[in-house]
Amino acid sequence: MSKRKSIIFSDKELDYDIIRSSRRTVSLSVKSGGVVIVRAPRFVPEPIIRDFIISKEKWIIKQQQRIKEAGEKTIVQTYNNGDTVPFLGQNLILSIVNGKRPNAISDGNFLIVSCPEPYETDLIKAIVDAWYLIEAKKRLIPRTFELAEIHKQEKLFPTEVSVRRMKSRWGTCRTNGKIMLNTALLKKRQELIDSVIIHELCHLKHHNHGKEFYSLVESIMPDYRRLRKELRYI
């Protein structure tokens, strides 16, 4: 169980949660909304924990600001005629037309959505999501095998690649060699998409986020850290 505490921190009161367990070290993280979480062993006294938080003041402020900026950049997607939907780093103009069969097709700068009247937001969203899924299968899966072939000297060949909508991850790699990619990647430009694919391919060799893993990733994509930072915020 967590225990809510507060401390005067940078001229304001900071609330933080302490989660105690059988762990051996004290760690600190800043979660969504700027909430500070301290994980500590059961035997560590609270004054030590408070001193630890104070020592991390600059880091906490930086993380809270990062989360705030990321939230400010979050755009709520709407599905009205003339709205835009992101695709490969560009924006397609949503054009909704009357049709018996729900469907979506890209045509130049437009994404034409066909559906019966009245145009209901939930239905239009479902059609657009289905279109993303179809496009993801057509683009992300072949691109993954293409990058694996380009870097075949590293022997990063997945056993299977699939796509689906995911809420919190851009991709995953299982120990059996299967890679899964988020359909939302299609909203990003190709260089950012490739950074995620390279990340997951490298997990075929290193199933962790240790030094060897990042060394391999950056040997393939030197700008990886910059790209992943950009991907995080947009």
Q: Is residue 129 located within the same domain as residue 50?
A: no
Tell me the average pLDDT of the chain: 88
pLDDT at 22: 85
Residue 146 sits in a domain whose CATH number is: 3.30.2010.10
**Residue 234 banded pLDDT, cuts 50, 70, 90:** very low
Mean pLDDT of 81-108: 92
Please give the tally of structural domains in the chain.
3
Q: Which of 27, 44, 72 is the last residue of a domain?
A: 72
Domain containing 105 equals 84-133
Q: Which of 72, 105, 121 is the last residue of a domain?
A: 72
Whether pLDDT at 99 is above 50: yes
- Residue 186, domain member (yes or no): yes
- Residue 77, domain member (yes or no): no
Q: Find the largest Cα–Cα distance for the chain.
A: 67
- Residue 179, domain member (yes or no): yes
**Residue 12 banded pLDDT, cuts 50, 70, 90:** low
Distance from C-alpha of 214 to C-alpha of 208, rounded to nearest angstrom: 9
Q: Is the whole model's pTM more than 0.75, yes or no? A: no
- Greatest mean pLDDT range, 17-21, 129-133, 222-226: 129-133
Q: Is residue 218 located within the same domain as residue 158?
A: yes
